[in-house]
Amino acid sequence: MTIRGTYTVKHSIVAPAILAALCMAGPAPGQSLKRPDAPFIRSADGKLVGRLDGPACSSTVSLVFSGTSEVFGDGKSANRMMSNVVQNVRASCGSVNLIAAKGVANGRVVYNAVADASSKWLLLELGGDRSGGLLASGTVGASGDQNRFAASNRFLPLGSLLKTMGGARYLCAQQTAEGCTVSTEFRAASEGGATLVSRYLLDGGGTLATVSYDGTNVGGLLCANPKSAKITVEGGSQSPAARARLADDLRERLDPYGSQICSGWQASGPRFIGANFNAQGAQLGKALVLTTSATPPKLRREE
């Protein structure tokens, strides 16, 4: 591990001697260790690089991680880098209260994380390459995906979906004995449209990210302008400032979708298949296997 301005991640725990050296050589508030475009931290294999997005020492320190979708999708590399960043910045900057990072692959935000002093630097993060929810920001398909999805004989227009669901108001994604990765609630639902409220569990402390928007029926799909979506982060032990910062950062994931997002469903035996599409009709992330629930389903983190 080197400490000449760029920290190379090999392990998730930084040795006390190195932390002491970082404290001695730390930047003054508002100053950066190196030029702005230089890496602040990199993984040992060089596949993941973190750069400062502002001062290296201030009340809030922000970084951008760059790598491939595969690196962010392994569920470990970004977490390990963020853990090292928190330790390094805390050791070198006594004035820091909040540290935030976003991970970018192929020009898309696929990872967000925040940690703050008031929660004893507990890490709050959301990846997304393996999930098919609106916050997934994973793979993007081809422009004909939506048309092919709707042309299938298994396609369920919104009205048919609601009838099939019966009195159930919730769809549970990727259900296991531990719970669902995404819970989607239909509010004020009719054949003409509905308000969708999707929830994601962010940590073991009960922190939830919620995305809600009012959609209308367009050719059997439920469509809305992503700019109208409301994103909140609530619950858990993080400070209001940390939750608000993460909610703001998560909104950036919706920007590439364009002027319209549409959700569609297909029948799959006793279950459903759900998929989301951008303004060009390209599928966003993976399709989700869904089950119905009359009550709010238990959520689990996608590991």
Residue given tokens 């048919």 in the structure block = 160
Q: Is the pLDDT of residue 28 over 50?
A: no
pLDDT of residue 257: 84
How many whole angstroms from its chain centre is CA 187? 23
The residue extents of the domains of the chain are 7-105, 145-293
**Residues 64-85 pLDDT 10s:** 999 988 888 887 899 999 999 9
Residues whose CB falls within 8 Å of the CB of residue 121, separated by 6 or more in sequence, listed in order: 86, 90, 99, 115
What's the Cα-to-Cα distance from 135 to each of 89, 261, 281, rounded to whole Å? 28, 12, 17
Cα(50)–Cα(78) distance, rounded to whole angstroms? 10
**Residues 198-255 pLDDT 10s:** 999 988 889 999 999 999 999 999 999 999 999 999 998 889 999 999 999 999 888 8
Name residue 240's amino acid. Answer: P
Cα(114)–Cα(96) distance, rounded to whole angstroms? 13
Cα(197)–Cα(87) distance, rounded to whole angstroms? 35
Contact present, 43 and 81 (Cβ < 8 Å)? yes
